Amino acid sequence: MFNPLVAALIDALADPVILVEGQRLMAINRAARDQFGFRLANSDIRLAIRHPRVLAAITAARRTSLEVEGLGRADQPWLVEVTPIDEKVVMVRMTDRAAQRAAERMRVDFVANASHELRTPLAGILGFAETLAEKGAMDEATRRKFARTIESEAKRMLRIVTDLMALSRIEADRYLAPRMEIDLGALVRKCVEENRPLAERRGCAIATEIEEGVPAILGDETQLLQLADNLLGNAIRYGCTEGCDTVSVAVRRSGRDRVRLAVSDKGPGIAPEHLPRLTERFYRVDAARSRNSGGTGLGLAIVKHIAERHRGTLNIASALGTGTTITVDLPIAR
Ligand SMILES: Nc1ncnc2c1ncn2[C@@H]1O[C@H](COP(=O)(O)OP(=O)(O)O)[C@@H](O)[C@H]1O
Ligand SMILES: [Mg+2]
């Protein structure tokens, strides 16, 4: 009854598609069968589709599109597009909007979070600056204390803005494969040296273990340094607490075609419910603790994006009371 080419054509589409003539269901593609369980045996469209607005749009047989929920699973959003293809037949195409909605929500949340993170130190700066500007006596010690607070809050804002800029630069380069040949061992040694003062301030030793003859990887040096620095900085800041005074960094070959960077500590660890959210922007386990140690909540988001751009894989293993090990596997340059 139907041209087999038409059937093959709509089957090839990934979205659910049906063809309707009047109130009769004429063709159903594979995706529509899988997603909604539509069957031609129930050839009355009203038996297949119970959504009143969608049904009305189909039977009106005019070109329209509408956003609806409750077509299949109750909370799933769909875009339904009705397109007449001749005087009798309309094509109905349904596009899953869940991913798009989630991306939109993430963008809105991100702007809200970023504004909040910047507003808090800014409010502090304004308050102290106003107090300093007011006439009236103020002893030197108090004046200096206020000025210091302004300075540290401004530095916090600068760290946030710097991290946000780094994130957007990494995202902009997302589809651009990095091309520099990088000796990850040497890069990690440099990172360890840069973190030495921080570690010393906290009475923390860094154990470094670089395997001999690890092949070069293709990478972006600045970004890989950022990645290693964020991981090592976290291990020192959060993992070097009472009862644990050493963090370790290792570079070794992983399987035939990858190099592994592993940063671990034997600190308090991270509860399992936080693990899936750690790489979200501004997500912190303990916000006050992160802020006090100069954190922006963006470090692991930066790490994740850099690992992705390098076609690497990031793994976070942590348990309360045992410590944390974060590994990044990066492909060897061919
Ligand atoms: N090695 C670690 N041990 C314990 N907690 C950690 C460790 N690394 C990261 N975290 C937790 O993950 C959160 C997010 O880390 P990150 O994205 O680097 O942000 P920031 O360090 O700026 O707070 C931190 O606030 C901290 O709570
Ligand atoms: Mg951090």
Exposure letters 100-120 (e unless 16+ CB within 10 A, then b): eeeeeeeeeebeeebeebeee
Of the candidates 119, 140, 172, which is a domain's last residue? Answer: 172
- Atom 25 (ligand 1) nearest CA: 284
d(CA 334, CA 331): 9
DSSP per-residue letters across 210-229: E-TTPPPEEE-HHHHHHHHH
The pLDDT of residue 219 is: 96
Helix (H) or strand (E) holding 301: helix 299-309
Parallel, antiparallel, or unpaired: how do β-strands 24-28 and 180-182 relate?
Answer: unpaired
**Rounded CA gap, 12 and 161, in Å?**
46
The confidence score (pLDDT) of residue 210 equals 97
Closest atom of ligand 1 relative to the 279 alpha carbon:
17
Mean pLDDT of the chain: 93
Q: Which ligand is nearest to the CA of 301?
A: 1
Decide: 238 in ligand 1 pocket, CB within 6 A.
yes
Query: Are 107 and 91 found together in one domain?
Result: no
Considering the domain architecture, whether residues 84 and 109 belong to the same structural domain is answered as: no
- 8 A C-beta contact, residue 173 and residue 220: yes
- 128 phi, psi to nearest 5 deg: -70, -40
Rounded to two decimals, what is the model's pTM?
Answer: 0.83
Same domain? For 204 and 280 the reply is yes
Kindly state the average pLDDT of the residues 141-167.
95
User: Mean pLDDT throughout 136-144?
Assistant: 87
The Å distance, Cα 294 to ligand 1 centre, comes to 11
Model pLDDT, residue 42: 62
Residue range 280-300: mean pLDDT, rounded:
92
pLDDT number for residue 1:
54
What would the mean pLDDT of 251-263 be, rounded to a whole number? Answer: 96
Q: At 45, is the pLDDT very low, low, confident or very high (cuts 50, 70, 90)? A: very high
Quick check: CB of 121 below 6 Å from ligand 1? no
The percent of residues above 90 in pLDDT, for the chain, comes to: 84
Residues 106 and 22 in one domain: no
What is the 270 CA–ligand 2 centroid distance (Å)?
A: 14
- Based on the structure, what is the number of domains in the chain? 3
Q: What is the CATH number of the domain that holds 138?
A: 1.10.287.130
Check whether residue 327 and residue 262 sit in a common domain: yes
Residues 131 and 280 in one domain: no
Residues 48 and 54: their CA atoms lie apart, in Å, by 11
Question: What's the mean pLDDT in 286-308?
Answer: 93
Residues 330, 237 share a domain: yes
pLDDT number for residue 247: 97
Residues near 280 by beta carbon (within 8 Å), at least 6 away in sequence:
301
Residues 126 and 183 in one domain: no
State which of 110, 140, 172 marks the end of a domain.
172
Q: How confident is the model at residue 213 (pLDDT cuts 50, 70, 90)?
A: very high
- Ligand 1 pocket member 117 (CB < 6 A): no
Q: Is the per-residue pLDDT at 136 higher than 80?
A: no
What is the predicted pLDDT for the residue at 193?
98
- 77 and 88 both lie in a single domain: yes
Task: Say if residue 214 is in the same domain as residue 322.
Answer: yes
Residue nearest to atom 12 of ligand 1 (CA): 284
* DSSP state, residue 294: T
The pLDDT, as a whole number, for residue 323 is 95
Domain range enclosing 251: 177-334
Candidate from 226, 229, 284 with most ligand 1 atoms within 8 A of CB, to mutate: 284
- Confidence tier at 91 by pLDDT (50, 70, 90): very high
Is the same domain home to 23 and 151? no
Q: Is the CB of 278 under 6 A from ligand 1?
A: yes
Ligand 2 center–CA 217 separation, angstroms = 24
Angstrom distance (rounded) from CA 218 to CA 257: 12
Q: What is the CATH number of the domain that holds 310?
A: 3.30.565.10
Shortest-distance ligand to the CA of residue 162 = 1
Whether residue 239 is found in the same domain as residue 194: yes
Q: pLDDT at position 235, please?
A: 97
Which residue has a Cα nearest atom 24 of ligand 1? Answer: 284
Which of 46, 72, 96 is a domain's end point?
A: 96
